[in-house]
Chains A and B, each alone.
Chain A
Amino acid sequence: MKKSACLRVLVLDVHARHSGFAVFEGPNQLVDWGMLHYGTGSNGTARPAGAQAAKVIARSQPERLVITMPANRTLAGNRLAAVAEAITGIAAQHHIPVRRLRRSQVLDDFGVRTRYAAAGQIAERFPSLGARLPRRRKIWQSEQPIMSVFDAAAAALAYYRRYSRLDRSADPLAA
């Protein structure tokens, strides 16, 4: 990988049953991406969200963790909050500062109104992800889980625009 002047950032787009993740070493350097699936109910003990997140954190060794998730007013709000808390706990164990970004902040940074529009920009910018861009869903269809990878990538770019301008001191979380 080319040397970059930016922090390595892991972004998790948290959902109740899965999370999309993206690892960046600067706004132009997409290092890794993928999905975490965690079970609920009886499976929840076998594949807890925290353990899944711990694996990605161990593999990607991020210097910042950014969490983005749907608004809390959804039905799965409590579950989401628990998952986010578990992930934050794992990050704390690894001494990784955590920042939360709202989806509205991400969309504002992209200057678009929908997540699909932001995902389209991500797909253009990172052709390796572009092949996986899901078709825009109809109103009666469920969302493709892979969409959360695009949300995570969009949040990563929003993070760099907001907080990490090639200078660690620009990030108020920086030590």
Chain B
Amino acid sequence: MPHSQLENYIATFRKQSGLTQQEAASLLGDRSGSELSLFESNRRVPTLRTAIGLEIIFSAPVADLFGGKRQRLERKIEARIERLHARLAKQQPAKGRPRIEREAKLRWLAARQAKRSPSRA
């Protein structure tokens, strides 16, 4: 894939559908296409309501519509999860409830990693 995805693919999906900005905006319940234009050019971040609206209009997941944003967020969160894992692994095995909680978190992290690995291959 390209090194980084575009911030959003709203314009791509809209142009593929053949809709004008005005038409797509009216489906979202907006009066003019000017706000949609701002979203397409990354000058404004859409609200959750608008993002879900776009998902419904174009039948494409929000993750696909905002590929670059998702990619960047994923990288950041994965780095934080790595740090959490390292911190938990380094902790001295405590006794009692803290130990059970720590092991449960490590199990969840291992299961999460296993679930993600096949999709990465």
Contact = CB atoms under 8 A, between A and B. Distances in A.
Interface of A: 1-8, 25, 30-33, 59-61, 63, 128, 131
Contacts of A131: 18
Given A1-B12, A32-B12, A128 B6 contact: no
B4 A5 contact: no
B1 A5 contact: yes
A92 to B, nearest CB: 19
A30 B4 CA distance: 16
B67 A1 contact: yes
Contacts of A4: 1-2
A61 B7 CA distance: 10
Contacts of A2: 64
A1 B15 contact: no
Which among B1, B4, B9 has the greatest number of chain A C-beta atoms within 10 A?
A: B1
B5 interface: yes
B12 A3 contact: no
Q: At the interface, is chain A mostly helix, strand, loop or mixed?
A: loop
Q: At the interface, is chain B mostly helix, strand, loop or mixed?
A: loop
B41 A59 contact: yes
Given A4-B2, A59-B42, 7 more contacts: A1-B5, A1-B6, A25-B2, A31-B9, A31-B12, A32-B11, A59-B41
Contacts of A128: 15-18
Contacts of A63: 2-3
A2 B4 CA distance: 13
Contacts of B67: 1
B1 A60 contact: no
A152 to B, nearest CB: 14
Interface in B9-26: 9, 11-12, 15-18
A63 B18 CA distance: 27
A32 B15 contact: yes
Which among A5, A7, A8 has the greatest number of chain B C-beta atoms within 10 A?
A: A8
Q: Which 10 A-B pairs have the closest CB atoms?
A: A8-B2, A3-B1, A128-B16, A1-B9, A31-B12, A4-B1, A1-B67, A25-B2, A32-B11, A1-B64
